Structures are given as C-alpha cells and as structure tokens.
Amino acid sequence: MDDATLLRFLRARKFDVPKAKFMIVAAEQWRKDFGVDDIVQYVPASPARAPMTLSQLQSERRTPNAESPRLPAGTLIFYEREGVDKYYPQYYHKMDKEGRPLYIQKLGLIDVKALYQITTTERQLQRLVLEYEKFITERLPACSAAIGHPVETSCTILDLYNVSISNFYRVKDYVSAASSIGQDRYPETMGKFYIINAPWAFSAVWTIIKPWLDEATVAKIDIIGSSYKDKLLEQIPRENLPKEFGGLCQCEGGCSLSDAGPWNADAKAVAVAETETA
C-alpha cells in the first residue's frame, strides 16, 4: 500500500490508528474476495459490436486478435458499455478548476428493465471497482501532472432530472452497495459532490441515501435544484463542462463515451501521430 492510500484511510478514521488499521485489513480482505487484482477493463476505442444480451455475454468465447491483445483469465471486458450508457450514463470527463477528475451520473435516465437485459448488478459493481482502480492509478496521476499539484479527489455531478422514485427503489441495492464500496474501500476520494435537478420528492430518496453515508461525506454534498448552471461554472471550466449542463463541451460521439481527460492525452497523441504517418 502506497503512502497516499495509507493517508486516505487515516483521514477516513480521523487519524485513529487502530480504527484505520482495522479498515485497511478489511479492505485488503475484500480485494482478495472480490478479485480486484484480477479485473482489468478493456474497451476498444471504437467498439464494432452492438450491446449484447445476457445470454450472449454468458456464451461469449473471446478470440483475441492483433487489435485485441490477449488478457488474463477472469478479465472483465465491459462490452455492454455503450448499451449501459443509454440506460444509466455514468462517466469521467475532463477536470474541474482544481484539477479534479469530473464524474457525472444521470440517475434520472435509468431504464431498469432495459438495463438489466444487457447487464447485471454484479457486472455493474465490477465496472465500478474497475473505474475506482483507474481513478487511483491513472486519472489522479494524470490530473496531478496536468494541473501541476497533487490531486487526490473527484468532483461529481449527480443529475436527478426526471428521476423516478419507483426506478430508484429498483436500483437501491446497487446504489447502497456502490456507496459502501466507495466509502469503505476507496475512502476520502470525494472532493465536491453536486446533486442537481433535485425534484420535490428527493427528500424521500435522501432519507434513504443519507444513512449510507458518513458525516464527512454528507458535508461535501451540495444539493441544487434546476438553477445549477452558475454554481457548476464556479467550480468547472466552461470548456470542460458538457453543454447539456451549461458548458461548451460537445465531444464527438458524445461526452459520456469519450473518456476525455488528461489520462488519455498520451493515447490520443499516439493516435494522431499514427494517422499523420499513415
């Protein structure tokens, strides 16, 4: 465990060493049980395949080729990424003004029936863990280098536009499990958290969610209604914020699938160089 990770666990337990040690030991055991070290995400830059059904996913026999390197047994390949993006958009996108990776979730777009025709709660949680691992090992170092100072946390936008209470109840087990993973296994990674387009019924949802979160996490959450644009732009550069949230960014193919950010700068430079020399 590196010093930065150790510090996050100590902060999470207010530098109470015995409590932090207990948390670390539990997290290390969870990593073994969950198989974190065996999970590697591999998504082609431009997937040629359509979203697969569960039966297709279960019967898939992967045959690596020159463009798809051989990966170790047990590797998670989230082929249904584009399909999931239609029914539950959740993605990293560029940085806020302090260099934090921007993470966006659109809970109001959830189509539970369609979502679970192409994926499962288990695979969603595996993908979540994969993204946390990339966040720690790739996104934070890249953002730190780009901004010129250490970056340790994220800036999150949770969009509740058109959220349905009934749909929320159908995914609350996933949301609860995801919250637990974030707090207990990847503590102190939340910097800013904006909940926008909160409907009048959000108080009922918040009553359910709030007990899952510790006091320090709750203190970082800013709940805003529909007049959120100016608040977001105080924290996020206009050119980095997707246009649908009041910014200027319109990534080719959509911001939610672009994975735009300094963590992809080297890969994009290589792609441009290869195109120019072709």
pLDDT of residue 30: 95
Buried b (16+ CB within 10 A) or exposed e, 207-219: eebeebbeeebee
The one-digit pLDDT tens for each residue of the chain (278 residues) are 889 999 999 999 999 999 999 999 999 999 999 988 877 544 333 343 444 443 444 444 344 343 444 444 345 667 888 889 999 999 999 999 999 999 999 988 888 889 889 998 888 898 899 999 999 999 999 999 999 999 999 999 999 888 777 777 777 888 889 989 999 999 999 999 999 998 877 777 788 778 877 787 888 899 888 999 999 999 999 999 999 999 999 999 999 999 999 998 754 543 443 344 44
Per-residue pLDDT, 265? 76
Of 224, 108, 83, 223, give the one whose Cα is nearest residue 166. 108
Amino acid 68: pLDDT: 41
- So where are the chain's domains? 81-277
Say what the pLDDT of residue 76 is.
60
* pLDDT for the residue 203: 74
Contact 175/211 with Cβ under 8 angstroms?
A: no
**Domain range 81-277, its CATH number among 3.40.525.10, 3.40.50.1820, 3.30.420.40, 3.10.310.10:** 3.40.525.10
Q: Distance from CA of residue 89 to its chain's centroid? A: 10
Classify residue 156 as left (phi > 0), alpha (psi -120 to 50) or beta: beta
**Residue 43: what residue type?**
V
Which residues, including other chains, have CB under 8 Å from residue 25's CB and lie 6 or more apart? none
**Interatomic CA distance for residues 12 and 19, integer angstroms:** 9
The label of the residue with tokens 């100016």 reads: 230
Convert the pLDDT of each residue in 110-161 to its tens digit: 888 898 899 988 888 988 999 999 999 999 999 999 999 999 999 999 998 8
